[in-house]
Amino acid sequence: MDKGKKVVFVDDEKHIRQANKQTLELAELEVTCLECAEKAMTYISMEWPGVVICDIRLPKMDGLEFLQEVQKIDMDLPVILITGHGDISTAVQAMRDGAYDFIEKPYSTERLVKTVERALEKRALTLENRTLRRELEAHSTPGPRIIGKTQAMLRLRETIAQIADTRADVLILGETGTGKELVARSLHEQSERRVKNFVAVNCGAVSESIIESDLFGHEAGAFTDARERRIGKFEHANGGTILLDEIESMPLRVQVHLLRVLQERSLERMGSNELISLDVRFVAASKVDLLKAAEEGGFREDLYYRLNVVYLEIPPLRERREDIPLLFHHFLLVAGHRYQQEVPLPGPSQMNSLMSYSWPGNVRELRNLAERYVLLGNQCGWSLDHLLVGAEKQPKHNLPQQVEDFERSLIEQALVSSNGTIKDVMDTLAIPRKTLYDKMRKYGLDKSDYK
């Protein structure tokens, strides 16, 4: 029985309730039978993922009155009316008023089941669209989202949500390609600062000779070639967020000035004595251990402790392999849309290649592979194995672990392809329902994550 497909059946005759309950349960639906419409109202909500079948002729609240009450709560919830021959015109009018469909007595079990399944598909689509609209409203600016269901990623998202709307500065540690800028942007977008600028500076990519001017700005005549005033990155980020990526590359003399800005929340442009107040959240990101760098003399220890108010660590992709199928599927869809190409879905053996690869370039490397696969998989017939030729395989997993990784990836791919429909997953994998549920429980998979 599929717990995600709920049906409430309302009829005042017991034998009709029993017969239809059996029919719908054989179709693997979760059925609740009630003798009056008043009781059915307790199930109705904007989030309820089910449909209602209701006889028009009931002793108290009849089917038409029930339809009106349901529509006061949710206009889009499918209500299927059961009608006798003499009520056809009434049922037709009810459909004009918002009923999903009506079934005339006597009806076949096949007609009942097909009508209910169509109504459930409509309900699922309605709820999905509402979820998407809520996400769009919550994130007014388009952009990538932090994807992953491993415990490390769940904790990361929870921490971001908890600290996003505070004034705390943040230090992000992660290997190259893990998504440090994505985390910083997420902090910005979930805070009140999202209406102001998000400014990203790669400290390793800015020449040492101009980094001070780039960060602090300068007045005209402050140095040779300073022909006019320039607003620096700190000032440009006022009211918003600034990301100092690869901060371990910042010259020590500039670190001294940065420490003062962090302490005073003000700056002076080069060539000026005027203090400019700053309301900026500083987010620093590094791919190295800054405390170790400080002990070795390459980074100021006092700056490390000033930056490290809140510490976020992003795990490398090799330590959250369970997220690879979901991430890769997401990147395939994004690349397919960007290049207007059909998305070639990888097979089980190809997915196993992804799961066993060590991913030194982390999520960035996975995203780039997805783009190559979309561009070359269709046009040139290249497989993922071909695109990963010479790739280093992960040696640490023993045979049982590799078998589990492969089995999990197969189930997750089937869930993604079927939008979480258990029956389709059973058919794809050719396994019984109980076996599938046992394995999903073992690997912490929930079908609702894939709808």
Phi/psi for 78 (5° steps) reads -70, 125
For 269-284, b where at least 16 C-beta lie within 10 A, e where not — what string?
A: bbeeeeebebebbbbb
**Residues with Cβ < 8 Å from 307, sequence gap 6 or more?**
169, 171, 247, 262, 282, 284, 290
Q: Which residues of the chain have pLDDT under 70?
A: 1-4, 85-86, 131-144, 378-399, 401-402, 451
Confidence at residue 392, expressed as pLDDT on a 0 to 100 scale: 45
User: Tens digit of pLDDT for each residue in 293-302?
Assistant: 999 999 999 9
3-state secondary structure of 451: coil
Alpha carbons 85 and 94: distance in angstroms, whole number = 15
Confidence at residue 393, expressed as pLDDT on a 0 to 100 scale: 44
Confidence at residue 402, expressed as pLDDT on a 0 to 100 scale: 66
**Domains of the chain, each with CATH number or no CATH:** 2-137 (3.40.50.2300), 151-315 (3.40.50.300), 318-450 (1.10.8.60)
Confidence at residue 209, expressed as pLDDT on a 0 to 100 scale: 81
Closest to 120 (Cα-Cα) out of 101, 98, 94, 97: 101
Confidence at residue 21, expressed as pLDDT on a 0 to 100 scale: 93
Confidence at residue 86, expressed as pLDDT on a 0 to 100 scale: 65
Q: What share of the chain is helix, strand, coil (3-state, %, to 5)?
A: 50, 15, 35
